[in-house]
Structure 1
Amino acid sequence: MLQIDLWKRVVIWAVCAIGLLLAIPNAFYSKVEQHNDALAAIEVSGSTDELDAMVALWPEFLPSGLVNLGLDLRGGAHLLAEVKVADVYAARMKSFWPEVRDALRPERAAIGTIRLQPSAGDVLKVRISQPEGMARAIEVVRGLSQQVVSLSGVGSSDIEVSGDDGVITVRLSEAEKRATDERTMQQSLEIIRRRIDEVGTREPTIQRQGTDRILIQVPGIGSAAELKAIIGTTAQLTFQPVVSRGSNANAAPGVGNEIMPSLDEEGQYYTLESAPVVTGEELVDAQPAFDQNGRPAVSFRFNPTGARKFGDYTAENIGNPFAIVLDAEVISAPVIQSHIAGGSGIITGNFSVEESTNLAVLLRAGALPAGLDFLEERTIGPELGADSIQAGQIACIVAFVGVLVFMFLSYGTFGLFANIALIINVGLIFGLLSMVGATLTLPGIAGIVLTIGMAVDANVLVFERIREEVKSAKGPARAIDLGYEKALSAIIDANLTTFITAVILFVMGSGPVRGFAITLGLGILTSVFTAIFVTRLIVVMWFERKRPKTLEV
């Protein structure tokens, strides 16, 4: 029988109403955007008359979710960065030297003196004066190894130790290198995301590409140079013992030491021990502050492990200088006056208020584990984005009008029903995009245009089937019922295969391809819903009202 239960009718119209309600804010994009920005600003800095006026631009009782515009529609910056993962190997070996030294010291009677040797970045070489104790030295160093923390390296050791001619060679195992690469990329992605979020940009795209590259797209930002300034600084903070100070940048620092320039004193260089006492990774907080003289500074606080190491070192080295190093520059080298307990302190220097605030943001977000090489950078102006939006709107309107006219001319009243469902369908697409916070790109607009063309396919199948049933002398009610029943399998098959394609594009693709896949996939879901449920409900309601004796499809 050609009938639909009341509860089903209520559910269908409720879904349509909710979807269209969620889509409404996109018709007043600028007002809603100002409203949302003002609410976010009030949460951070409090209410002002100007912000309250912006909040009043959009009613609070209505949804305020928007379809986020992608880089090609809003304009912004695009970067492709390569993470220098090899730097992490060198840092690991450098920081491993104090552990090796402390472990070998009790064995001096058997192995003799211990000296660090010049070596490649990812290798640590230590010479002992009594080669006959090599076996014992290797055993002790191997005792420092740990299991690799990764699923692919279960049971493997993180270091490989060998010895020859009185020199112990320590290097990272291949399993540990793979695990380190994975951790480095994940940490880099997270820290870049934190730094960009601190700036308050809308819906950035931050994705891993390949083994050691990261794609960064930030809509609404001024230039690629501005984006690089936000994320390009590694902000690697270390606290290192000072060996000496001078003006010769080319002096030999000695094994285990390094020379770094002073940030504030031009022409001055510090010779420091390479192995830091504490690093920025052990920071838990950093905030802009002022020193005792009222000058901008940055206060910091360590975690328990860093606080203990920091406190022990200051207690044992009162009267000695202690360098605070940021990105290979000594920003301060104060003399330790007393034991600093509690794990907190302050970084002073010739900072402006803005510089101290930015430094605090970088330190709080965390240090990038490795440097970045920017392989590709582009700045897309907002004018180009506006042109893209206009072109997309024209394409959607032309496609929309063309389909509406074709359906009405081909199927008359039934074509009009399909057109109503098509309008609802487009509204549902924007409602879903707003609800999930998806980003609309130019390929995404292409996906919507394609969906508009495909949306009526299901109705065409149904209407053609109804025509066939009418020709075989079926009554109007029976023809409509059979038309939907027999076309259902073809509708599901056609849309299911397309939906699977959209899923594959989303999983395997990136950037614009994923934008196209999202709108195509959501468009298929809404198209099937409107074709199977909405159009059928409209036809049933029309039939119940008119009770036609014959059908003109």
Structure 2
Amino acid sequence: MDEEDSLIRDPRILLLIAGIIVSIILIYPHPTDGGISTSLNYGLELEGGSWLQLELQGAIVEIDSNPATIIEYEYASCLNDSDLRVTEVKTNSIRFVTSKEVTEREIEDLRYGAASLLVEDGRTTVAISTTEEGIVRTYLQNKLDSEVKILRVENGTAYEIRTNTSESEIKQVLTPINGRLITYTRGVSEETRDDTKEILDAKLNAIGLKDIPIRTVGEDYILIDLAGVDIATAMRMAATPGKFEIRIQIEGNETAHVLYGDQIEHVGIPQQDEHNVWGVPFRLTQAGAEELREAALRYNATTNPSAHHLMMYLDKKEVFSGPIAPSLAENIEKTPVKHLEARTGMDEEGHQEAKELQSHLRAGALPVNVKVIGSGQVPATLGARFKEQLGVAGIITLIAVALIVYRRYKHREIIIPMLLTTTGEVVMILGFAAAINWQLDLASITAIIAVIGTVIDHLIIITDEVLHQEKGELPTEKIFKDRIRKAFTIIFAAAATTIAAMIPLGYMGFGALRGFAIVTIVGVLIGILIARPAYGAIIKHTITQN
């Protein structure tokens, strides 16, 4: 009885038992109308559902152009002034002279930057705060009606056009300004791809779909598995934006509706002003600008702008709040304003908040156009059949292992601890999957079945090393420790080899390959840290008792 108590009190055994109990709690098996349910998440193959393959549409170009020529071409056309000339180009500004009467608003409507005017002798000198790269980006945005992002590349500067644009279209746009297309690459940057993935991930998780696998392939493709979702719903969820609303503060916590997200026709890229404050520029429709002006006048926001915040909500959750700038209030009082900018602050924190706000302003819309180039559906009945077949395969595996082990040792005192340890290890792997909301797919279940074979291999090594087969006598404590140490040396070496082989597969692979690698690594770690030491204690107790 004392030996039994000492075994149960052994820390290795207690750790194994605790691991199994915690795992069962995490798995949470419970009866339902349809049988037994758990908290385990199953992948597309086992649950049924839909998959989508999306192509990110865009182009990355390098061009050779003269910013002064762009400004002359744009404003000569806008102001109908063929004599307009650029007089000065600096790092952060550009100046031109026109004989036409203009206002700052007219100059800024083309979105090249903040303008200041100086009128002398019937001619107007216009100064625009901008950069050479900013001029090229704005020109491409105006002509292609697309968001354009500046990229730093090895040879200088490239421009990412976030819509499906052909090489011939780019050349056609550059012809009036005597520009030259240096390179053209179809696709998007890695950062844009990751931003698209994050937006999709946030959208799907926000509506209660946990652990939706969204995988990137190269820089132009995204794969999405939506277990338990039909193909029509999958299409709608991946492409439909959320509900965005702007409200105005009336008094205290009281707010009033101003406009919805469908009145925002363009959202720019986060940028810094001359004071290094980050902000997100966006443009309202004419109707949206009129609604904003009407609300500001109705609630006296133009006379006391600091007391009236504009508040933004995505799906009824506040994502931004800031006072109306005095200059904006002054302009709104005169005329509807379409071009706005939400300021988020300075430094890296302000930059991150600006990126988040940019996503919110888009109301979940993706930064680039996407094209569904592949889709499919796995019926729920087929997924249920796969689960059933895998369950049967697991049971057959355990039975086959039991028969082989019995033929080798012919002692149930050895076979039962082996099977219990193996089963406990499988339970702990499933508990880990439940704890991190990992979706179990075919590859993950296959890895678990493969781990069973690895478990038995390791347990046989321990058993053979511990058994004293030369004379049939009981091994001494010193001999037992030496043999256990030798067995674990072999096991740790084998485990290290397996983990080393799986790490590249888990890091570089995707989808099924990554799932297989992760489950294998987790199974090996649980085995060498918890299950193998516990089995060593059990086999020692078994030999001394028999």
Per the shorter chain, which TM-score range?
A: 0.5 to 0.7
Q: Deviations over 1:459-513 (max 9, x none)?
A: 212222334x531677423553333122222111112111222222211211111
Q: In structure 2, what residue type is equivalent to 1:193?
A: D
Which of these residues, 164, 189, 213, is aligned with residue 181 of structure 1?
189
Cα offset, 1:239, TM superposition: 4.6
Q: Which residues of structure 1 form unaligned runs of 5+?
A: 35-56, 59-63, 91-96, 115-123, 125-135, 242-259, 263-281, 289-298, 324-339, 344-360, 549-553
1:78 aligns with 2:51: yes
TM-score by length of 1: 0.58
Name 2:226's counterpart in structure 1: 218
Paired residues in the alignment total 402
Partner Cα distance (1:159, 1:376) in 2: 28
Q: 1:396 to 1:155 in 2, by over 3 A?
A: same
Partner Cα distance (1:484, 1:192) in 2: 51
- Note if contact 1:68-1:439 (Cα within 8 Å) is conserved in structure 2: yes
Equivalent residue runs for 1:401-550 within 5 Å: 401-411=399-409, 412=411, 413-467=413-467, 469-471=468-470, 475-477=474-476, 478-529=478-529, 532-543=532-543, 546=545
Q: 1:32 to 1:153 in 2, by over 3 A?
A: farther
Choose between structure 1 and 2: higher strand proportion. Answer: 2
Q: Deviations over 1:50-73 (max 9, x none)?
A: xxxxxxx99xxxxx9832111111
Name 2:18's counterpart in structure 1: 18
Q: Which residues of structure 2 form unaligned runs of 5+?
A: 64-69, 88-95, 100-111, 113-125, 138-147, 161-170, 243-260, 267-284, 288-309, 344-358
Equivalent residue runs for 1:27-426 within 5 Å: 29=29, 31=31, 66-86=39-59, 108=85, 110=87, 142=132, 144=134, 153=153, 156-157=156-157, 168=177, 181-221=189-229, 223-233=230-240, 237=262, 239=264, 284-286=312-314, 314-317=332-335, 365-411=363-409, 412=411, 413-426=413-426
Partner Cα distance (2:17, 2:33) in 1: 22
Q: 1:509 to 1:341 in 2, by over 3 A?
A: closer
TM-score by length of 2: 0.59
Name 2:275's counterpart in structure 1: none
Q: Secondary structure at the match of 1:214?
A: strand
Cα offset, 1:172, TM superposition: 9.7
Q: Secondary structure at the match of 1:202?
A: coil
Cα offset, 1:181, TM superposition: 2.0
Partner Cα distance (1:287, 1:446) in 2: 40
Q: In structure 1, what residue type is equivalent to 2:238?
A: I
Cα offset, 1:406, TM superposition: 2.0
Name 1:253's counterpart in structure 2: none
Cα offset, 1:415, TM superposition: 3.0
Q: In structure 2, what residue type is equivalent to 1:381?
A: P
Q: Deviations over 1:245-267 (max 9, x none)?
A: xxxxxxxxxxxxxxx9x9xxxxx
Q: 1:210 to 1:109 in 2, by over 3 A?
A: closer
Q: Secondary structure at the match of 1:393?
A: helix
Q: In structure 2, what residue type is equivalent to 1:385?
A: G
Partner Cα distance (2:342, 2:330) in 1: 11
Q: Secondary structure at the match of 1:207?
A: strand
Partner Cα distance (1:414, 1:9) in 2: 20
Q: In structure 1, what residue type is equivalent to 2:39?
A: L
Q: Secondary structure at the match of 1:375?
A: strand
Partner Cα distance (2:12, 2:459) in 1: 17
Q: In structure 2, what residue type is equivalent to 1:229?
A: R
Partner Cα distance (1:230, 1:89) in 2: 35
Q: 1:430 to 1:301 in 2, by over 3 A?
A: closer
- Note if contact 1:78-1:218 (Cα within 8 Å) is conserved in structure 2: yes
- Note if contact 2:57-2:188 (Cα within 8 Å) is conserved in structure 1: no
- Note if contact 1:72-1:388 (Cα within 8 Å) is conserved in structure 2: yes
- Note if contact 1:82-1:212 (Cα within 8 Å) is conserved in structure 2: yes
Partner Cα distance (1:109, 1:315) in 2: 33
% identity of equivalent residues: 22
Cα offset, 1:527, TM superposition: 2.6
- Note if contact 2:62-2:158 (Cα within 8 Å) is conserved in structure 1: no
Q: 1:416 to 1:183 in 2, by over 3 A?
A: closer
Q: Deviations over 1:248-294 (max 9, x none)?
A: xxxxxxxxxxxx9x9xxxxxxxxxxxxxxxxxxx9942457xxxxxx
Name 2:253's counterpart in structure 1: none
Name 2:347's counterpart in structure 1: none
Q: Deviations over 1:159-178 (max 9, x none)?
A: 79x9xx99535789979x99
Partner Cα distance (2:265, 2:314) in 1: 19
- Note if contact 1:206-1:214 (Cα within 8 Å) is conserved in structure 2: yes
Partner Cα distance (1:195, 1:342) in 2: 22
Q: Secondary structure at the match of 2:541?
A: helix
Q: Secondary structure at the match of 2:486?
A: helix
Q: Deviations over 1:36-61 (max 9, x none)?
A: xxxxxxxxxxxxxxxxxxxxx99xxx
